[in-house]
Structure 1
């Protein structure tokens, strides 16, 4: 079975609610956070797959069309590829925040569906996010949770940003193999 890292998008990969951008509704509003391409490249060297799993309620709320979201994700994937970093697939929940759907994090459907599609061993995989809903979704799916921020009692590890979390993720995954 394969191993994967599931990454939330806003606040993990790209800026959101920053000086430059409030929300990303167009490709030109997409700015990588420092160290993200390098972090993903390091993860690519160890994991079989890297995925983006994101709630994008702005689609359901009418702030952007689904076609626009797909353009943003295509842009993100293309820009990372230029840096030698590969995202294998970006999946999203387009529904309104209170729609009650199965795909919106903290529900785990997006992660579980990717796990089935790519034959992922979720117990050997990681969900990285900057909100408790990311960590809860990962836990429900059976992954370890890595929180980016100050603290999260549900997370297996807490780091300030993706690049600083990568070494722990790889070390933890390697110790599982040896153990």
Structure 2
């Protein structure tokens, strides 16, 4: 399992660590309208999944904005931001930030995504910061578990992986 800290304190991640080359695990999260979303919802597209503890914090907001702005021009790439924020809070955040096309997905109900991707923090019931790129065949092509959850991910590496994925 990835060794991760949150504000310098070690945390326990629930679920299985995802590795490059594996088939992406399925999950069920909620869209802002409370409809269920699964991996199959985006079948045939490259998925850049940006995982954040909460969109209401500075680093998470910056990460969400950066990936949505930078990947907007990429063909067949869907940027999905996953957190345990309630769908209503995610919708409000996107409206406040002017991110009309951002896709925010809530894992608050049962941590389906968090456990499937090994990002659920047991002690806080939040998701740790991570980035996954999944190609159009649902194979994992890039993984980053950010070692300190309050730090930024490697934006350039993730975007390059999304560009290279088919």
Please state which band the TM-score falls in when normalised by the shorter chain: 0.3 to 0.5
Q: Which has the larger radius of gyration?
A: 1
Q: Structure 1 length as normaliser, TM-score?
A: 0.44
Determine which structure has the larger strand proportion and give its number. 2
| Structure with bigger RCO (C-alpha 8 Å, 6+ apart) | 2
**What TM-score does the superposition give when structure 2 sets the normalisation length?**
0.47
